[in-house]
Copies of this chain bind each other. A is one copy, B any other.
């Protein structure tokens, strides 16, 4: 292990340069025009893993973007097997004009590496590739068996991964899985994620007339789909910040007082969030702390409203149609399929009869809660302590990692969510970055983790 740590110290420039090559590939999974980039990113990873000596390297097709698989299974029959998950797809980059550097040109400023995907998730998945490289290039051995599963659809809801895991459950069989796709509190305070929220992503379509109308001629007699849409969307929250869809909270698991107390030991406070975001004031469901609001309570957000005119200047149009993208973050034990159905029924119920309404489900993912007493998690806590000099805190993550519940359910393996991102890394936003000291400390922590978990 010492040799592996030394390797990382001595090869930082090479490791960073290789990550930058991967980052330059604009692998945006949601856009058809980036299909070739997606294939290129998968191929790059497969080549890299082959060059390290991993075996069974394979770009496995799915109904969507492929999964890159590779393994190294020579640690001995009694050594545990660790499944390493990461995703090589990234979010779109708009609004482009808010980027201070080209989004797919990795740019280093001080300790920060700016690029789309820098932390979510190419940089964090590369932590594990570099850790594996450090062992194999020095000792030629790993302290445990490793399987890589790198997907290309995380940013579009891991559409094919559930079927993939189900189909390849023997191949993927492992004693634990590790995912580095989350963030810690600050460069000194590591976090083990104790749960993730689920998600349903919906799109609501309304049509009010055959085609666009002039607001002078028809304003006041033919309803404007944008007027109707804002009314429907606004009604989805009450004045306590609660979602008004009937049945939405029916299966929400309330925390025990002990769980609440543990969760609220987090250093996250209204003040830290205000400082991180620059928001004038916070918002949220009455009766819950900020840690609870974003960790254990479900939420609903409008992500975009299409229709009419948003260019410079003015156009007095009543658009024929409008649509809105809306997602809901879900918590145990909300069932995404059921919430999607409740949402759809509710939208139809409350929409005015002036509109033809259609609702589509774009993505669904289940929430998951981790058993923090599992040995795989305890080993991660120790690894963090060695890598960062401090024991991690346990947090419920507000984001969604569909793979967690898939691995829990299908492979029956504990999932270690060991992240190295920071809250201000601008995930899904312009100027995404990765804090480079976290990158190197992450590789060292991963090396420690393989070592500690391997010895069990």
Best-surrounded residue of A95, A98, A217 (most CB of chain B within 10 A): A217
Interface residues of A in 334-363 (CB under 8 A from B): 352-356, 362-363
Cβ-defined contact, A230 with B428, below 8 A: no
Cβ-defined contact, B91 with A224, below 8 A: no
In the bound complex, CA of A230 to CA of B273 (Å): 24
Indicate whether A13 reaches chain B with its CB closer than 8 angstroms.
no
Known pairs A220-B285, A226-B304; A211 contacts B325 (CB<8 A): no
Indicate whether A405 reaches chain B with its CB closer than 8 angstroms.
no
Cβ-defined contact, B327 with A215, below 8 A: yes
Instruction: Count chain A residues whose beta carbon lies closer than 8 angstroms to a beta carbon of B.
Output: 100
Indicate whether A313 reaches chain B with its CB closer than 8 angstroms.
yes
Contacts of A65 in B (CB 8 A): none
Contacts of A305 in B (CB 8 A): 226, 230, 305, 308, 310
Indicate whether A171 reaches chain B with its CB closer than 8 angstroms.
no
Set B277, B297, B397: member contacting A222, Cβ < 8 A: B277
In the bound complex, CA of A398 to CA of B233 (Å): 28
Indicate whether A306 reaches chain B with its CB closer than 8 angstroms.
yes
Indicate whether A183 reaches chain B with its CB closer than 8 angstroms.
yes
A326 to chain B, nearest CB (A): 9
Contacts of A399 in B (CB 8 A): 214, 216-217
Interface residues of A in 198-253 (CB under 8 A from B): 199, 201, 208-224, 226-227, 229-231, 233-235, 237, 241
Kindly specify which of A79-87, A134-142, A315-323 makes contact with the partner chain.
Answer: A315-323
Best-surrounded residue of A156, A325, A400 (most CB of chain B within 10 A): A325
Contacts of A278 in B (CB 8 A): 209-210
Cβ-defined contact, B302 with A224, below 8 A: yes
Best-surrounded residue of A92, A297, A301 (most CB of chain B within 10 A): A301
In the bound complex, CA of A95 to CA of B354 (Å): 22
In the bound complex, CA of A230 to CA of B312 (Å): 21
Contacts of A267 in B (CB 8 A): none
Known pairs A92-B309, A283-B352; A317 contacts B219 (CB<8 A): no
Interface residues of A in 241-293 (CB under 8 A from B): 241, 273, 277-285, 290, 293
Cβ-defined contact, A213 with B277, below 8 A: yes
Cβ-defined contact, B302 with A430, below 8 A: no
Cβ-defined contact, B304 with A307, below 8 A: yes
In the bound complex, CA of A152 to CA of B280 (Å): 42
Cβ-defined contact, A427 with B231, below 8 A: no
* Chain A residues engaging chain B, CB cutoff 8 angstroms: 30-32, 91-92, 94-95, 98, 155-157, 183, 197, 199, 201, 208-224, 226-227, 229-231, 233-235, 237, 241, 273, 277-285, 290, 293-294, 297, 299-320, 323, 325, 327, 329, 352-356, 362-363, 397-400, 423, 426-431
Q: List 30 A-B contacts (CB under 8 A).
A: A98-B212, A199-B316, A209-B279, A211-B430, A212-B428, A213-B277, A214-B428, A215-B329, A217-B399, A217-B423, A218-B277, A218-B294, A220-B241, A220-B293, A223-B283, A226-B301, A226-B302, A227-B301, A230-B234, A230-B302, A230-B305, A280-B355, A283-B354, A301-B318, A303-B318, A303-B319, A305-B310, A310-B325, A316-B327, A320-B429
